[in-house]
Amino acid sequence: MKSLYRDQDEYWMQLALSIAKNGIGLTSPNPPVGAVIVKNNKLISSGWHKGAGLPHAEVNAILKHPRKHIRGATLYVTLEPCCTWGKTPPCTDLIINEKIRRVVIGCEDPNPIHSGKGINILRRARIDVRVNVCHEAAKKIIIPFQKKVLTGMPFVTLKMGLSLDGRIADNKGYSRWITCYQSRRLVKRIRQGVDAIIIGGNTAQMDNPSLLSLHPQKQPLRIVLLSQTHPLTSSLRLFNDKWAHKTILVTNTYLPFSITNKLTKKGTQIWCLNNNDNNTTGVSLMPLLHRLGERGCLHVLVEGGGTVAGSFVAEGLIDRYLFFIAPIFLGASGKNAINGYNWLIKKTPKLHFDKVYNIHSDILVIASPFRRNAHIVYDSDILLNKLCLPA
Amino acid sequence: MKSLYRDQDEYWMQLALSIAKNGIGLTSPNPPVGAVIVKNNKLISSGWHKGAGLPHAEVNAILKHPRKHIRGATLYVTLEPCCTWGKTPPCTDLIINEKIRRVVIGCEDPNPIHSGKGINILRRARIDVRVNVCHEAAKKIIIPFQKKVLTGMPFVTLKMGLSLDGRIADNKGYSRWITCYQSRRLVKRIRQGVDAIIIGGNTAQMDNPSLLSLHPQKQPLRIVLLSQTHPLTSSLRLFNDKWAHKTILVTNTYLPFSITNKLTKKGTQIWCLNNNDNNTTGVSLMPLLHRLGERGCLHVLVEGGGTVAGSFVAEGLIDRYLFFIAPIFLGASGKNAINGYNWLIKKTPKLHFDKVYNIHSDILVIASPFRRNAHIVYDSDILLNKLCLPA
C-alpha cells in the first residue's frame, strides 16, 4: 500500500506542477506556484499564483470551496507555503485554520531566511507534512526565482538567431529574416515567460524591433543599452508603441533634455548607470542586472546584438543559451554573433549542449555554461514542448 | 502467400545491402555492391565487391560454392549486374551459365549507357527478374557513384569543425582542438569512406595535419590547394609520412625545381591546373573535381579551411555538409568558417538540415543543399550509426 501511496503523491504533485506553469512570466517577483487539494483520492480543488499582490496558489485552491469540504483534505503545493506577511497574509495560517490534515510539498523555499520555517509551523500544528515530492521538477520551475533570491540578479537567457557561419546580420546589416517564421514565433512565446528583454542601441536602431510577446495584456520591460557611439532616433517603435512605458533606455551619461523630453513624454524611462568596467555596451552589466532584480525581474532575455552578447558572455553572466541556427551562410563580413571579445581555445568560455530541436527549417540549440558537476537545466520544455519536435 | 514472398525479398535485399556497405570507400571507381544467394528460403552464399579489378559481388557469392548448389537458386544483388567486359567478364554471363533461376535487383545501373541492359539479357535467358526491391536504400549507397557517372565529378562532402560563433580557429590561428576527441575520431572513420580529402595550403601549413583514416591499408588521396600567397614548407607530415605518395599538391603555376624535387622524391605528385575563375583557393575547382573523377574518385571530403570552404560553397559544389559544432566561443577575430565571400540574406546559399547528432560534448549537424522538391539524402547513417546517439 505504501508504494501506491507514494505514487499517488507524485501523481498529484505533477498535476500541481503543470498548473503552476500557468504562472510563468506573470508572477514576478514571486515564483510560479501551483496547488491542488485532494480528498478521498479525488481532486476537489486547484489553484495557481496569478501575480504579485494576488492570492497565493494555496489560497486560490482553498478558498474556492466551503470550509467543510476542505477540512481533512490533503494539500499538494509545489513550493513550501509562506509563513510571513508580505502583500498577503501567511498561507500557513490559512492551512491550519482550514484544518487541512496533510500537506505535500514539492520543494522548500530557496530563500535561506524562510526555508523550512513554513514546514515547521505546519508540523507544530500537528499537520502531516511530506517534503520533496517531485523535487527536481519542483526546483526547475523556480530556478529564476532561486537565482534572484540567492544573488539579487535575475536568471539570464541569451537568445540569438544566427547563420551556420555565426552571423547575425549580412554585410549590409540586414537581419530580416535569418531565422524562419516558426522560430520567430517561438521567440515571441519565450518572451511571454520573461520579465525584461535587453538589446543594444545598435540593434534597436538597425532593426527597429517591437520585442513583443504573444500575451495581449502583459509585456516584458524592454531595455536598450545606449553606448555613446550609437545614434538613436526617437521615432523607433520601442519609444512610440502602446508599450512605450515598458521601455527603459540605459545610458552611462546624461542625455540632453531635448532627447529625454521626447522619449519620456511617451512614458519611456531613462536610467543612468556607470560604466566602471569600460564595457563596450556602454553600461556595467552586473549593476544593471541587480537593478532589474530590485525591480522584481526574475528572468531576463538578452537578444543581442553581437556586442551586447559578447559582453554578457565575457562577464559570465549568461545562465542559458538559445541559438536559433538557420541553414544559411552570410559570409565573412556578416555581423558577428559574439563581438568585441576574443578567446584562445584553451581559455574559451565552455558551454554544455542541453538539447537540440528542429524548428521548421532551423535548429534550436539549447545550452548552458559548462560545469564540472551535474547540470541542472532550467526546464526549457516548459515553453517549448508544445511547439517543437525533437531533432 | 504473395505478400510473404515480397517481404522475404526485402529481407534478403536488406542483408545484401548491409553486406554491400563493407565496400564503401574501397571500390572506386566502382560502386559498393552486395549479393546474397538463397535457395529453399535458406542463405547459401554471400559476397561483396572488394575493389576495382577484383571480382564483382555476384561473382564472389556464386563462386564460393560448387555449381550444383547454386543451380536453381535466387540471387539478390543490390545493383543491376553488369553485361559488359570491364576489368572482369560480364556478370550476366556467369549468372546464366550457373543456371540461377531468379534474380532480385535493388536498383538499375545509373549509367544511361548500361541501364536496363543487364536486366534484359537475364530476362531473354528466361531468368525471372524482379527490380527495385528496397529501391531507395539501394539508390542511397550508390549516390556518389551515380553523381560521378552522370556528371563526371565525385560526390563532395564539406566537413568543418567550428565554434558556436562560426570560427574554425582562434585569433592566433590555433584550431587544436575545437572539437572533442569523439568528433575527431568520427572524422577519421568518415575519411575511411572517401577517396580524396581536399584542404587549403594555409590549413596544411598551420595545422600540419596527417588527414589519415582509421583503415590500416587504404588511405584517401590528400589534395592540397596551393595559392601563391601560401608559403608551404616541405617538412609537413603530408609530404613525409609513409602515405606521401598519396599527397597531391595542386597549384596554378609552375613551382621552382628546388621545391618540386624535394616533394616528388617522397612520392608527392604535383598537378598544375588553371585558375580561370580567379578563385581565392588558387585553383579552378570544377576542373579539379573532374580530374579527380577521371582518377576514379567517387567521394571527396573537403576539410577546409575557410577559404577553400567558401569557394566550394560559392560555386555550389557541395553535396553534403557535416558541421561539428563545439560548445565554445572564439570571438570576432577568430578564423571564419566561410571566408572570402559574402551573401545578402535574400541571396544566400540555403541548406536543408537533415539530421543532428550528439557527439559527446559537440553536436554534428548534417545538411544538404536546399532543393524545392524532396530531399534525397546520402545515407549518413552508414558511417555514423554505430557511433552516435540521436540528439
Give the ipTM: 0.90
Partner-chain contact A164 B166, CB within 8 Å = yes
Amino acid at A173: G
A355 and A246 belong to one structural domain: yes
pLDDT at residue B109 greater than cutoff 80: yes
CA distance B380 to B320: 10
A214 and A120 belong to one structural domain: no
Q: Which residue of A has its CA nearest to B345?
A: A170
B78 and B183 belong to one structural domain: no
B40: helix, strand or coil: coil
CA distance B161 to B305: 10
A86 and A191 belong to one structural domain: no
φ, ψ of residue A150 to 5 degrees: the values are -85, -30
CA distance B355 to B352: 9
Q: What is the pLDDT of residues A147-181, one digit of tens each?
A: 999 999 999 999 999 999 999 999 999 999 999 99
Name the minimum distance, in Å, from the CA of A296 to any CA of chain B.
Answer: 31
**Would you place residue A108 in the very low, low, confident or very high pLDDT band (cuts 50, 70, 90)?**
very high
B206 and B87 belong to one structural domain: no
Percent of chain B with pLDDT over 70: 93
Q: Give the pLDDT mean for B206-225.
A: 93
On chain B, the residues whose CB falls within 8 A of the CB of A160 are none
Let me know: does B17 contact B34? Beta carbons within 8 Å. yes
Query: Other CB atoms closer than 10 Å to residue B253's CB: what's the count?
Result: 12
The residue among B98, B120, B143 that closes a domain is: B143
Percent of chain A with pLDDT over 70: 93
Partner-chain contact B356 A356, CB within 8 Å = yes
pLDDT at residue A381 greater than cutoff 80: no
Sole residue written with cell 576527441: B181
Residue A42 lies in a domain: yes
Could you tell me if B327 lies within 8 Å of chain A, comparing CB atoms? yes
pLDDT at residue B252 greater than cutoff 50: yes
B301 and B211 belong to one structural domain: yes
Residue B254 lies in a domain: yes
CA distance A51 to A31: 9
* pLDDT reported for residue A159: 97
* pLDDT reported for residue A353: 94
Partner-chain contact A166 B171, CB within 8 Å = no
pLDDT at residue B386 greater than cutoff 70: no
A309 and A358 belong to one structural domain: yes
Q: What is the mean pLDDT of chain B?
A: 89
Specify the DSSP element, H or E, that contains B264: helix B257-265
Could you tell me if A271 lies within 8 Å of chain B, comparing CB atoms? no
**Would you place residue B373 in the very low, low, confident or very high pLDDT band (cuts 50, 70, 90)?**
low
Least trusted range by pLDDT, from A32-46, A49-63, A245-259, B350-364: A245-259
| Closest Cβ–Cβ partner in B167, B340, B355 for A166 | B167
Partner-chain contact A328 B339, CB within 8 Å = no
**Catalytic residue list of B:** 58
Least trusted range by pLDDT, from A64-78, A314-328, A375-389, B59-73: A375-389
Residue A46 lies in a domain: yes
A126 and A192 belong to one structural domain: no
Could you tell me if B1 lies within 8 Å of chain A, comparing CB atoms? no
* pLDDT reported for residue B1: 42
φ, ψ of residue A191 to 5 degrees: the values are -60, -30
List B residues 163-182 in contact with A (Cβ-Cβ < 8 A).
163-167, 170-172, 174-178
pLDDT at residue A3 greater than cutoff 80: no
Amino acid at B5: Y
A50 and A82 belong to one structural domain: yes
pLDDT at residue A255 greater than cutoff 90: no
On chain A, the residues whose CB falls within 8 A of the CB of B177 are 345
Least trusted range by pLDDT, from A78-92, B145-159, B216-230: B216-230
Residue A390 lies in a domain: no
A175 and A88 belong to one structural domain: no
Strands B34-39 and B74-79: antiparallel
Residue A391 lies in a domain: no
* pLDDT reported for residue A263: 85
pLDDT at residue A390 greater than cutoff 80: no
**Would you place residue B385 in the very low, low, confident or very high pLDDT band (cuts 50, 70, 90)?**
very low
φ, ψ of residue B253 to 5 degrees: the values are -145, 160
Let me know: does B352 contact B362? Beta carbons within 8 Å. no
Partner-chain contact A342 B330, CB within 8 Å = yes
- Of these ranges, A60-64, A254-258, A277-281, B262-266, the one predicted with the greatest mean pLDDT is A60-64
DSSP string, B176-240: TTSS-HHHHHHHHHHHHT-SEEEEEHHHHHHH------S-SS---EEEEEE-TT----TTSHHHH
Could you tell me if A362 lies within 8 Å of chain B, comparing CB atoms? yes
On chain B, the residues whose CB falls within 8 A of the CB of A174 are 344-345
pLDDT at residue B390 greater than cutoff 50: no
Residue B391 lies in a domain: no
- Contacts A–B by Cβ distance under 8 A: 162
* pLDDT reported for residue B375: 54
Could you tell me if B331 lies within 8 Å of chain A, comparing CB atoms? yes
Better-scored residue on pLDDT, A286 or B282:
A286
The domain spanning residue B19 has which CATH number?
3.40.140.10
Better-scored residue on pLDDT, B106 or A372:
B106
CA distances from A238 to A245, A268, A331, B143, B232 (A): 9, 9, 30, 52, 54
Structural domain range at position A282: 152-385
Partner-chain contact A313 B329, CB within 8 Å = yes
Better-scored residue on pLDDT, A18 or B229:
A18
Name the minimum distance, in Å, from the CA of B273 to any CA of chain A.
Answer: 26
The residue among A111, A143, A175 that closes a domain is: A143
On chain A, the residues whose CB falls within 8 A of the CB of B388 are none
* pLDDT reported for residue A114: 92
Residue B286 lies in a domain: yes
Residue B58 lies in a domain: yes
**Would you place residue B266 in the very low, low, confident or very high pLDDT band (cuts 50, 70, 90)?**
confident
* pLDDT reported for residue B72: 93
pLDDT at residue B49 greater than cutoff 80: yes
Into how many domains does chain A fold?
2
